[in-house]
Structures are given as C-alpha cells and as structure tokens.
Amino acid sequence: MILKSQVEWALHCCAILAGLPDGRYLSTKALAEFHGLPKEYLSKALQGLSQAGLVDTSLGPSGGYRLAKPPAELTFLEIVEAVEGRQRTFVCTNIRANNPCRPKDHCESSPCAVARIMWEADEAWRAKLRGVKLSDLVGILSQEVAPELWKSSFEWVLERAG
Amino acid sequence: MILKSQVEWALHCCAILAGLPDGRYLSTKALAEFHGLPKEYLSKALQGLSQAGLVDTSLGPSGGYRLAKPPAELTFLEIVEAVEGRQRTFVCTNIRANNPCRPKDHCESSPCAVARIMWEADEAWRAKLRGVKLSDLVGILSQEVAPELWKSSFEWVLERAG
DNA sequence: TAAATAAGGATATCCTTTGTCCTTGATAGG
DNA sequence: CCTATCAAGGACAAAGGATATCCTTATTTA
Ligand code: SF4
Ligand code: SF4
C-alpha cells in the first residue's frame, strides 16, 4: 500500500504556488520543468487539484494555476485527497458473510469490529494530515532550504509566472 | 491506496485462532472454508504471519496454525505489517533533486519537510493499530456476534482443530 | 490572428495484487 | 514402515491500478 507519486508532486507544486504573488499563474509546463516531471502526467494531478477546488486556473498565454485560497487555509489532507481520492484505505469485503454456520436469514446490519478498528486508524492518519496547513510547510521550508537556493528558485518561478 | 484484502483475512483468521484451545492447531483448509476464501492464496497470508513469528505451525494430519503468543500480547499492527509489509505508505522520490536552480554540488542530507510530515501521519496510523490488541477484538466480537452464531462457529472450529 | 494554455479522452506500458497449480519435505496416525 | 495430510514456497497467469504518452478541443492572451 503506497501512495501515488502524484501526491508528492501535488504537495511540492502547492508549496511553489504558495509563493506566487497575488493574481499571477504558473503553468503546468513550468511546474513540470522545475520538478523534473513528465508534463502530461503531472497535468492529471493538477486537474485533480482543480476539480477539488483547491486551485484556480486560467487559459491562454500567461495562464496556469494559482491557489484558490490562502496557504493557511489549505490542509495537507485536502491536497492528498484531491489526488489520492477519499476512499478509506481498508475496504470490507464482508467475508463474515461466508461463515458456514451463519443462518440463511442472518443479516449483520453494521460493519464488524475489524472494519471499525481499521477505519479508526485511517481516521487518525487523516486527522494528522488535516492538522497541517500548507503555510506550515512553507514556514519549515523557508527555514531549512539554503537561502541562495530559496532565492534563486523564487526568481526562476517569477520569470515564468504569467 | 488500498490495503490488501489479505489484511482482512489475516485479522479474521487470528480472531479464530485466538479461540483455539491450548496446544491445538487449525489448518489452512479449515480457515479457508470457514471464511469462504481461496485456500492457496490465503496460505500466502498465513505464511506471512508465520514468517513474522506471530503463529506456530505444525505439519502432517492434525497440523495447522496456532497463535505464538496470547491474544493480549498480539497487536493489530503486528498482524497488518506481517501481511502488508513495513514499508511506509509515503515514499520519497526526491524530486527536489531535479530543481534546475540547484547547484551541482548541492546535497540535501536529510528528508525534506514534506516527507517528514507524511511520515508523521503514517506513524499516527501505526500508533493507532499498535494500541489495539487481538484480545480487544475478541472481546468486542464476543459481545456483538449473535450468541448462537458464536457458539456454532466455535463448535465448527473445534471439530476441525487437530 | 497566432501562440499558449487547461481539460480530458484514448491508449500503451509497467507493476502490484489476486489467484491457481505444482513440488518438496515433514509429521501424525494407522 | 506407509500413507494421507500438512506448511512452505516456487512458477505462472489473470486482473486491475499506477504511470506515462499522445492527441483533440475550447478558451484566452498577446
Ligand atoms: S472484518 Fe469487518 S470487514 Fe472484514 S468481513 Fe468482518 S465485517 Fe466485513
Ligand atoms: S518532498 Fe520530501 S519526498 Fe518529495 S522530494 Fe522533497 S524531500 Fe523528497
């Protein structure tokens, strides 16, 4: 069970978009080039962000993506779910229904304890991601990334932001 | 990102094995029949439990599986990891290394903030599973499963336990 | 008008999961 | 000792999802 690599891509892209000046857009092409990713496939991840309403888009030259809300209001969970989907990581195939001792008319209405426990763990994972804002990430990165690299990356992006 | 169905199978099988009298074994055949699962494929999941040291095995007629330790000392996490593996759900492909602004001699030693945050969420999931014992599950099931079904299932198992 | 862009459909490739089949070596019971 | 039964595991096939590419369409900006 491994998350799609698109999750990593989307998070990185959002971190970049968070540094974009108001009203400007950054294209898929620029984001793909900056991260060394296949443009067409990265596009699918960005479309996921768009469909989830996390980013705004603009067409034509100088078009691209920008965040739909401030980084402080955008959580990791939203980004992860936009790309990875909202389905729980544990799915019940209801194998208890195959119990040979089970009467024909027997019908369990609610999910069994196994599923509930696994779903609680799933929710703990989501709660952790829900508690981290995109602005938190930017704050950490701004402290950890080497200043000259931080600056040159910012300028690289600005040159290409429409 | 969805857990293997074998995780559900292994948890159910452990719950059954937890009710086995001391010193007796239950075969793959019986476990597969009880849950309505393909015997050969369920065998792979049970081999995972065996390799992780969670169950003891015995060969020959009246052989099979039994728990290697009391249900109160067996956690959900152990069972899940025995089948699903211990790899983290978020893997870093280090796309930051593709940054065109990155100097040739630049070398990030430690994982970046994105990975650390995702790994913290992963650990929250594991911590939740680590906190649930197999005995907890048996306790809940013994209260929730209809008494007559519980009893007949127990007898069904006992008839086939070697 | 022309170039650039997002959106998305179609398709191909690779890998994981799921599932089956068979062999091997060990063991209990007769 | 003999035989049926068992776990272990290798080989292999089918199905589905992830990854990746290519192309078309509608839209917008310069
Ligand atoms: S364990 Fe939960 S999920 Fe699996 S069958 Fe029983 S109820 Fe369904
Ligand atoms: S985000 Fe974390 S995982 Fe992804 S590249 Fe940067 S460091 Fe590696």
What's the pTM value of the predicted model, to 2 decimals? 0.94
Q: Whose CA is nearest to atom 3 of ligand 1?
A: A92
Would the CB of A102 count as within 6 Å of ligand 1?
no
**Do the beta carbons of residue B68 and residue B51 sit within 8 Å?**
no
DSSP string, chain B: ----HHHHHHHHHHHHHTTSPTT--B-HHHHHHHHT--HHHHHHHHHHHHHTTSEEEE-STT-EEEESS-GGG-BHHHHHHHHH-S--SS----GGGG-TTS-TT----S--HHHHHHHHHHHHHHHHHHT-BHHHHHHHHHHHS-HHHHHHHHHHHHHH--
Asked if A3 lies within 8 A of B89 by C-beta distance, the reply is yes
Counting Cβ atoms within 10 Å, is residue A5 exposed (0-12), middle (13-18) or buried (19+)?
middle
Using CA atoms, how far apart are residues A151 and A105, in angstroms rounded to an integer?
A: 69
Phi, psi dihedrals of residue A95, rounded to the nearest 5°: -70, -15
pLDDT score of B110:
78
Which one, of A92, A130, A122, A123, lies nearest residue A108 by Cα?
Answer: A92
Q: Is residue A100 part of a domain?
A: no
| Domain containing residue B150: CATH number | 1.10.10.10
Q: Considering only CA atoms, which residue is closest to atom 7 of ligand 2?
A: B112
Residues of B in contact with A2 (CB under 8 A): 1, 87, 89-91
- What residue in B sits closest to A9 (Cα-Cα)? B95
Nearest 10 degrees: CA dihedral of A121, B86, B131, B118?
-50
Residue B107 scores a pLDDT above 70: no
Domain-located, residue A21: yes
Contacts of B62 (CB under 8 A, 6+ apart): B25, B162
CA distance A30 to A162: 11
Q: What is the pLDDT along chain A (162 residues), one digit of tens a residue?
A: 899 999 999 999 999 999 999 999 999 999 999 999 999 999 999 999 999 999 999 999 999 999 999 999 999 999 999 999 999 999 999 899 898 888 876 767 778 899 999 999 999 999 999 999 999 999 999 999 999 999 999 999 999 997
Confirm whether B121 is domain-assigned.
Answer: no
A65 sits in which H/E element: strand A64-67
Residue B15 belongs to some domain of the structure: yes
- pLDDT recorded at residue A102: 84
Judge whether B37 lies within some domain.
Answer: yes
Residue A10 DSSP class: H
CA–CA distance, B17 with B55 (Å, rounded to integer): 9
- Domains in chain A, number: 1
Residue B113 is assigned to a structural domain of this protein: no
The model's pLDDT over B22-81, given as tens digits with 9 standing for 90+, comes to 999 999 999 999 999 999 999 999 999 999 999 999 999 999 999 999 999 999 999 999
In a domain, B10, yes or no: yes
Give the domain extent around A141.
Answer: 5-87+133-160
Nearest ligand 2 atom to alpha carbon B116: 2
Block residue for tokens 């938190």: A136
| Residue B127 lies inside a defined structural domain of this protein | no
